[in-house]
Structure 1
């Protein structure tokens, strides 16, 4: 008798036998991508597993607006929203010079410099062009300058993609997916026309203020809202966005377009030596009109809208969100220091938000380069410190600079004593303190850490820049850790009260944007267990075998930081692995491993990168520097066995 297909299907879907409460509990631990796949598996699962909307996206793009309003109007979905991500990276328009160059690419500098020069010539050629009525700022009388700019930006994206792939030989699946999109890239004329349509739709929404009204409605519609994140880095890099917003999901497959960065950047490039992205005051002054001020504020349009909407809600008797995150994700940009250190309307809005009882988190990036020469010391005037002192219930604080220190530049980033910027004695409940891309001095930083309350549990110190001392001497990370152990005496606290310290470093001088070395366990061993300084005699160079490498835009990139010569066969693919022959569907691995382990099925070799994730889950503490000789072979056998079990 033939088996009943329906009965067979029901027999296989054992997941449906679980009570709804258990099924809901399981789904709480799944990412949205897995929930979507689960719902597509069978109609019964689609009904049993509801979609989850904990995060919604907002920008002037019609696709983002439509989904945002649909969730806000849904009687059930709106109740689960806990975060609004405001995409403040508007599509760049060649007719607005400040919008065109907010990027931080650092690959293939010579080729990019040539592209920049061509862009500049195109801009100069377009100066005499006229904007036609109804074109929303897009040149329609002569599209040649914009077409040239568009093509050069696509070329720049390809160069950036090539540079990122050169350092990503271990993520086979990710590279293959990006290469497939690159091969399917639509023709430039088709892409350019679609981009113009997106640009017109964006400009139309901005003119009507539709996104501002949607934000106001969303604040009232989401009762569980806990966080608003404003970011100019949503689009990430080519085929690797930070967030897959509805707009990005609706783009044609392989779509290559000028990636928006939103806020001004401090990255100095050959073109920006002539078109320097200067910052200007947020209050009128002689020769600086109110219209000029509004034009300057428009560069942070999404941030200004959020602050205004939240402050207005508080003034009307509502409550502000307890967490405000301004996240730039490795881009050399941030909030204008004029907004924080001048008596402007937006500073008053932010002060009102921070003052609300229960406000607990603030992530604040500050753009320090580009200020007027007379305003280099602007942040030290006390207004920033008094502003931050409003947040008396703060539990999580992260301060970020723009990573620039060039004494020869027109507006060099100077050293600011942390106690002159931060009201450390006011934050009596602080549990997390983060400092990134700031110019520091070891005694001042350690003194600031010592002033933090006993409630502190985590500390992040990443991509710090040490201020030069006399006679050209410079402090380093090794000195910082040594001074922390000697001065802070955190080891005298109970184990559960000791702060966990994490550090992040650039892997090389010309580091791939968004990638870095991170380590924490070795710091804890040094601070609290009399272990060795992880920097050893190098003092400012992290040796292989300590920490891991991560990419802020690609979670699958994570891998241990190990020596290539010893572990390239495990962690990297064709570029570093010696494949000397292929036979019967297997790959010969050469002499890098034990001879008994030279032959592995090819499909399992592609999964080797997953071993690191398994290792992290098992929380195995492995000291790679100590492995030598036979111990290395034992490690090879263990890792391969683990990989075979996982596959």
Structure 2
């Protein structure tokens, strides 16, 4: 008896095909699109976009924003607010551009700066000792030479400098607010790079890293920057000496306050040990101040959740300036006519606070449901 040929994938009803592919990762869908005649019939699952001071991340974000097929599905934007070393402070990767003063800190055998080797080893050791990356030994067999690794890092730092000097990342964020109509969640993270070969977020920049690329952890935060670029064209901008403590965080809040016409209802800050710095600053009377921008976001009718995530080791419970200032900020918004949530998360499950703030029947509001989430 002649056996019937099983139906091809292309013969399946569209509804069944969508149900099957909805359970696949984007990587699998990309392979299927390359090997199947269905081609672009199968859509990628793009609900999140990434942004940082990197031209590749910006290019991918804008490409998605310009695609009517995918931009309507984006719900979250993650801004990688961590940075490589300042390119101005790096020894040129090109030997012809090096000066005699660079010789003392340069390893002539490995052909890269000594600090780069030292910090890269620290990054590698912190990743290896965790024992979470089962492919680490295989990746290390393909490790790049120190000279190649530093040259690649140096090029990334140069790209970063170009983006920062042109404010291309801030412009791209504004572009995203306009072109992603259903964008509802903004995450500012200084932990995107995670551990070596184990990033927290697989941004286009990180996915493009060469196999075996070993580099120092990207935990640098651009602090004390001049902030005039955020108020360009605004007559009520800050004084010349006004600076910002966090580029991505402050820029995102400023652009959200400036544009106004968006649907962002949840704002998340993921941070490491630098979080206890007073990123809201002290001078709350400064026009366009970061704290004022945060208050503007919280006061929006459709805003409902503010989440702060920090490392336990970097925050002494009950003593942090951020916690005190957030409580002061709540006092200014008690009159809100709806309920919203504030979550303060640490990596200690015994010290997570969830506040729900709502308006009381009287002229003044109050806090309620202050509970520990375990």
Give TM-score scaled by structure 2 length.
0.76
Q: Matched residues in 2 for 1:27 and 1:366: separation? A: 36
8 Å CA contact 1:61, 1:205 repeated in 2: yes
Higher helix fraction: Structure 1 or Structure 2? 1
Partner of residue 124, structure 2: 158
Q: Aligned to 2:65, which of 59, 72, 78? A: 72
CA shift, 1:214, in A, is: 1.1
Pick the aligned partner of 2:291 from 347, 350, 367. 347
8 Å Cα contact 2:87/2:154 also seen in 1: no
Which of 1 and 2 has greater Rg? 1
Distance in 2 between the 1:362 and 1:46 partners?
Answer: 40
Residue number among 273, 279, 287 corresponding to 1:332 in the alignment: 273
1:397 aligns to what? 342
Residue of structure 2 aligned with 1:245, choices 203, 206, 215 = 203
Q: Any stretches of 5+ residues in structure 2 without a counterpart?
A: 107-112, 228-237, 361-366
Give, in whole Å, the separation in 2 of the partners of 1:427 and 1:367.
Answer: 32
1:421-451 superposed Cα distances (whole Å, 9 cap, x missing partner): x9755279xxxxxxxxxxxxxxxxxxx9xx4
Query: Aligned match of 2:15 in 12, 17, 21?
Result: 21
Distance 1:322 1:63 in 2: 27
Q: Is contact 1:424-1:452 (8 Å) kept?
A: yes
- Specify whether residues 43 and 256 from structure 1 end up closer, same or farther in structure 2 by C-alpha distance, changes over 3 A only: same
CA distance in 2: counterparts of 1:65 and 1:261, whole angstroms: 20
Counterpart position of 2:257: 311
The answer on 1:81 being equivalent to 2:74 is yes
Count of equivalent residues: 334
Three-state SS of the structure 2 residue aligned to 1:352 is helix
Secondary structure, counterpart of 1:452 in structure 2: strand
SS in 2 for 1:337: coil
In structure 2, the residue matched to 1:220 is 178
Deviations 1:38-82 (A, max 9, x none): 324x32233331223211111111111111111111222212111
Q: Distance in 1 between matches of 2:88 and 2:54?
A: 19
Deviations 1:496-533 (A, max 9, x none): xxxxxxx3xxxxxxxxxxxxxxxxxxxxxxxxxxxxxx
Question: Matched residues in 2 for 1:236 and 1:384: separation?
Answer: 31
Task: Tell me whether 1:321 sits opposite 2:267 in the alignment.
Answer: no
CA distance in 1, matches of 2:359, 2:306: 12
Which of the numbers 148, 159, 169 marks the counterpart of 2:114? 148
Q: Once the 2 structures are TM-superposed, how far is the Cα of residue 31 of structure 1 from its aligned partner?
A: 3.0
Q: Name the CA distance, whole Å, in 2 between partners of 1:185 and 1:383.
A: 50
Q: Tell me, in whole angstroms, the C-alpha distance in 2 between the residues paired with 1:154 and 1:392.
A: 51
Structure 1: give runs of 5+ residues left out of the alignment.
Answer: 97-125, 169-173, 265-276, 283-288, 404-414, 429-447, 454-458, 462-502, 504-647
Matched residues in 1 for 2:347 and 2:11: separation? 53
Residue number among 280, 301, 308 corresponding to 1:357 in the alignment: 301
Is 1:235–2:193 an aligned residue pair? yes
Q: Does 1:91 align with 2:84?
A: yes
* Aligned pairs (5 A) from 1:269-284: none
Is the Cα contact below 8 Å between 2:50 and 2:203 reproduced in 1? yes
Change (3 A) 1:327 1:304: same
SS at match of 2:369: coil
| C-alpha distance after superposition, 1:389-445 (max 9, x if no partner) | 476645543213697xxxxxxxxxxx9xx8xxx9755279xxxxxxxxxxxxxxxxx
Q: What residue is the counterpart of 2:233 in the other structure?
A: none
Spell out, residue by residue over 1:166-194, the C-alpha distance to the aligned partner (whole angstroms, 9 max, x if none): xx4xxxxx41x222111111000111111
Q: CA RMSD in A?
A: 3.9
Per the normalisation by structure 1, the TM-score is 0.46
Query: Corresponding residue for 1:384?
Result: 329
1:253–1:206 CA distance, 2 compared to 1 (3 A): same
Superposed counterparts of 1:421-500, under 5 Å = 424-426=356-358, 451-452=368-369, 461=373
In 1, distance between residues paired with 2:56 and 2:279?
Answer: 33
- 1:180 matches 2:128: no
- How many Å separate the matches in 2 of 1:460 and 1:34? 40
Tell me if the contact between 2:50 and 2:77 (Cα under 8 Å) persists in the aligned partners.
yes
- Whether 2:18 is the aligned partner of 1:39: answer no
Cα distance, 1:366 vs structure 2 = 6.6
For the 8 Å contact 1:57–1:64, the answer to whether it is kept is: yes
- Taking a change above 3 Å as real, the CA distance of residues 218 and 24 of structure 1, as seen in their structure-2 partners, is same
- Corresponding residue for 1:590? none
Name the CA shift for 1:16/1:400 in 2 (closer, same or farther; >3 Å): same
Q: Does the 8 Å CA contact 1:320/1:353 hold for their aligned counterparts?
A: no
